[in-house]
Structure 1
Amino acid sequence: MAILFVLSGLPGVGKTTLAKALSPRLQAVHLRIDSLEAALKTSVLAISRAEDAGYVAAAAVAKDNLLLGNNVIADAVNPIEITRNIWLEAALGAKVKALNIEVICSDAAEHKTRVETRHNDISALSLPSWEDVQRRRYEPWKKHRLVVDTYEKPIEDNVEEVIEAFSQLVRYGSY
């Protein structure tokens, strides 16, 4: 049975790094909102403020892949409950389980350094400044999720933590 892995967290916490490390281990499709939103921006429609378009498009592709039996990793900030629910609706529509994973960097100085020094691998994407990240609306979670701290452990340990939660979800229906 396919699983939808929903990575959420502020810019610069390590969501994409975690997704890239997880994808081959889980044999999962990696859907990165930054890539979709950049593509919308450079399309003939020239959508510069994608609002929910990237999320809605990615959730549709996620559902298609889940219905094919593919695991999917959704890599997005998911700052508010509405965006988080878009993914859950895709999982429900495909009749599969979803694993919510909030990615954090518990050390503010390290988080700031990551934001200020990260490499932009998508030309049409404007990376946020540290001030932008601090001002960003990010609602507290109301639903159960696995919290992965990318500051405390190396990425390989974070991957193993997610794999263990995945194994428990498959074995017992929850983690």
Structure 2
Amino acid sequence: MLIILGGLPGSGKTSIARDLARRLGAVHLRIDTIEQALRETGKVVQSMEDAGYQVAYVVAEDNLRLGRTVIADSVNPIAITREAWQAVAERAGVRAVEVEILCSDEDENRRRVETRAPDIPGFALPTWDAVVARHYEPWDTADVVIDTADCDLDDAVARLLSRLQAI
């Protein structure tokens, strides 16, 4: 199965992805990590464009073909990236589940963005202004929506696992 997570920074998607990957023994692919590794090569100096996503798509497909569950962790802000993830699952012959992670409490989302520490060496976290200004298309195809404003990590992952089992 390909579990496609998306949501704005500070929503909790990476924390959920990591915990879910541990519980399921799944492969966790985080776009931020891939993009930072590409930056560190010195080959990518300017905009990343879709380079991180392109790398993640092929790594995900390789792992799906091996029978592994893959969790794709990215903002996934536009329909074209969501469609590309769906295409990965189709080529690998597996089910894709789209999961939007959001934090409906703007004050809480802002607090998370402004107080978190980077966990990828050299990675610059976005500011709250950058998060608010970011282009993010409505996600009307999500199979599951998890709102982290009213729950802790364990509750969010439990809700997601329950929904995944039902699917």
TM bucket, shorter chain: over 0.9
Percent identity of equivalent pairs: 47
Q: Extract unaligned runs of 5+ from structure 1.
A: 170-175
1:146 corresponding residue in structure 2: 144
**Residues 63 and 91 in structure 1, CA contact (< 8 A), matched pair in contact too:** yes
Residue 36 (str. 1) matches residue 37 (str. 2): no
Q: Could you tell me which amino acid in structure 2 is paired with residue 53 of structure 1?
A: A
Query: Any idea what the Cα deviations from partners look like across 1:93-148, whole Å, max 9, x if unmatched?
Result: 10100110000011000000100011101123111110000000000123142110
1:114 corresponding residue in structure 2: 112
Task: Give the SS at the match of 2:150.
Answer: coil
What is the CA distance between 1:46 and its match in structure 2? 3.0
Query: Any idea what the Cα deviations from partners look like across 1:54-113, whole Å, max 9, x if unmatched?
Result: 011101100100000000000000000011111111100101001100000110000001
1:63 corresponding residue in structure 2: 61
**Residues 7 and 102 in structure 2, CA contact (< 8 A), matched pair in contact too:** yes
Taking only aligned residues, the RMSD between alpha carbons, in angstroms, comes to 1.0
- d(CA) in 2 for partners of 1:75, 1:141: 15
1:172 corresponding residue in structure 2: none
- d(CA) in 2 for partners of 1:6, 1:134: 22
Q: Extract unaligned runs of 5+ from structure 2.
A: none
Structure 1 stretch displaced more, 135-144 or 93-102: 135-144
Equivalences, count: 167
Residue 25 (str. 1) matches residue 34 (str. 2): no
Over 3 Å off, 4+ runs:
none
Give the alignment's TM-score, normalised by structure 1: 0.92
Give the alignment's TM-score, normalised by structure 2: 0.96
**Residues 8 and 78 in structure 1, CA contact (< 8 A), matched pair in contact too:** yes
